Amino acid sequence: MMQDKIIFLVDMQSFYASVEKVRDATLQDKPVIVAGDPERRSGIVLAACPLAKKYGITTAETLGSAKLKCPHVEVVRPRMQLYIDVSIQISKIMEQFTDLVEPFSIDEQFMDVTHSQKLFGNQYEIARKVQEKIMEDTGVYARVGIGPNKILAKMACDNFSKKNKEGIFRLDHSNIDQLWKMPIGNMFGVGNKMERHLKGMGIYTIGGLARFPVDQLKKRWGINGEVLWQTANGIDHSPVTVKTHNQQKAIGHHMTLPRDYTNMDEIKIVLLELCTEVARRCRKKGYMGVTVSCGVRGASFDFPTGFHRQTTLPVASNYDLDIFNAAFQLLKQFWDKQPIRSLGVSLSNLQPSNIYQIDLFDNYLQKEKLNSVFDFVWGKYGRTALYRASSLTKAGQASERAVKIGGHYK
């Protein structure tokens, strides 16, 4: 008889804020939030410690709103490189218990400890040891969801481990009825928009979705309908694997602008910078791509505008002007001329860059030489050593982005 798998989803409580409290002991007993810079349109709460959450502060609300709820809250600017370093340290801690560790996000990681019990004890003992080791080495408190598969481990953590004293909970098909009682919005994979759709169909609980005819869900949403139904029923056959991030499906770059952009000439400058960064990252990872996507979001939250469209290149490329020309055509065709708050570009349908089709009507070798020069200079002297003159204008954002990770200062 095949042994049931034992999968953990290990989640770091208020990760960014927890790291900041470890870094600065004077913050230990104070409500702390990590938030971006309001002057540059990035004043959003990225993390709130449990003390701050008691005042009603939530992740993703504006810094101004958080301060209204708790005027004495301590605001810390994000240090993304520090958080990445601690996340890597936590991965290495987990690898002391199993070689099957799969990052899910910067503060969540899956572990398959099925075959670790002879060395470290039963699943609950392993979970406690993982918690203790992470706390001892990093000062960060971890919650552990346990299940026979990844989806149940994830929902165990989100809905139960985060709310009990031990920070550990196992969810499987023997107690899934506890999950089924919960509102449909609590289910992994159901956002606000999907929640409204499901409630419109009379589905208000996770159990209601689990019992709903799967054929009707598939008829409305295709394969995604079946995925929703399987999630509600705790069905997931995907293994914990260390190879999840080895093959990327797309490489993209997105930024929130420091002010509303209304002029096509200014938008073009940022678009070219984004395309240059996408091309650089593609080359660094050894990829070329054929599908260019471009998306913008309007400045108004109350009356959202924007678009997200894609087009196909004649041949695969990782040259920035090829990507830019395609993205610019999309921008010209679909932009409604309303002020833009954010802009993004991505390249997908990736293939290895060492195998490519040469276009007889395109000087590929010249592009390759230019790419090599750019990459050599950037690799040796940094991203600000070489960029186009247009980036020196007031619209340019290249020098500002070069000192950030994920849109926030390192």
Q: What is the DSSP string of 152-163?
A: HHHHHHHHTGGG
CA separation for the pair 378, 244 (Å, rounded): 28
pLDDT beyond 90 at 358 = no
What pLDDT score does 304 carry? 73
| Cβ contact 328:271 at 8 Å | yes
Edge-to-edge strand list for the sheet holding 7-12: 101-105, 108-112, 7-12, 142-147, 168-170
Q: Where are the alpha helices (DSSP H) in 43-110?
A: 50-53, 63-69, 80-94
pLDDT-derived band of residue 241, with 50, 70 and 90 as boundaries?
confident
pLDDT-derived band of residue 59, with 50, 70 and 90 as boundaries?
confident
Mean pLDDT of 369-375: 67
Q: Does 137 count as an annotated binding residue?
A: no
Long-range contacts of 80-87 (CB under 8 A, 24+ apart): 80/404, 80/405, 80/406, 80/408, 80/409, 80/410, 81/405, 81/410, 82/19, 82/23, 83/15, 83/16, 83/19, 84/405, 86/19, 86/138, 86/140, 87/15
Q: Name which of 173, 179, 128 is nearest 148 in CA terms.
A: 173
Q: How many CB atoms lie within 10 A of CB 196?
A: 10
Average pLDDT over the chain, rounded to an integer: 86
Q: Which two tokens stand for residue 210?
A: 């689990």
Q: Does 107 count as an annotated binding residue?
A: yes
Mean pLDDT of 199-220: 94
More confident site: 389 or 30: 30
pLDDT-derived band of residue 353, with 50, 70 and 90 as boundaries?
confident
What pLDDT score does 366 carry? 67
Helix, strand or coil, per DSSP, at residue 309: strand
Query: What is the value of pTM for the model shown?
Result: 0.71
Percent of the chain with pLDDT over 70: 82
Which residues participate in catalysis according to the annotation?
Answer: 108
pLDDT tens per residue, range 256-272: 887 888 889 888 888 98
Edge-to-edge strand list for the sheet holding 306-317: 250-261, 340-352, 287-298, 306-317
Amino acid (one-letter) located at 19: V
More confident site: 244 or 254: 254
pLDDT tens per residue, range 101-125: 999 888 999 999 999 999 999 999 9
What pLDDT score does 1 carry? 47
What pLDDT score does 180 carry? 96
pLDDT-derived band of residue 382, with 50, 70 and 90 as boundaries?
low
Q: How many CB atoms lie within 10 A of CB 220?
A: 12
Mean pLDDT of 170-199: 93
pLDDT beyond 50 at 396 = yes
Domains and their CATH numbers in the chain: 1-175 (3.30.70.270), 182-232 (1.10.150.20), 250-409 (3.30.1490.100)
What pLDDT score does 44 carry? 81
pLDDT tens per residue, range 318-341: 888 899 999 999 999 999 888 888
What pLDDT score does 174 carry? 94
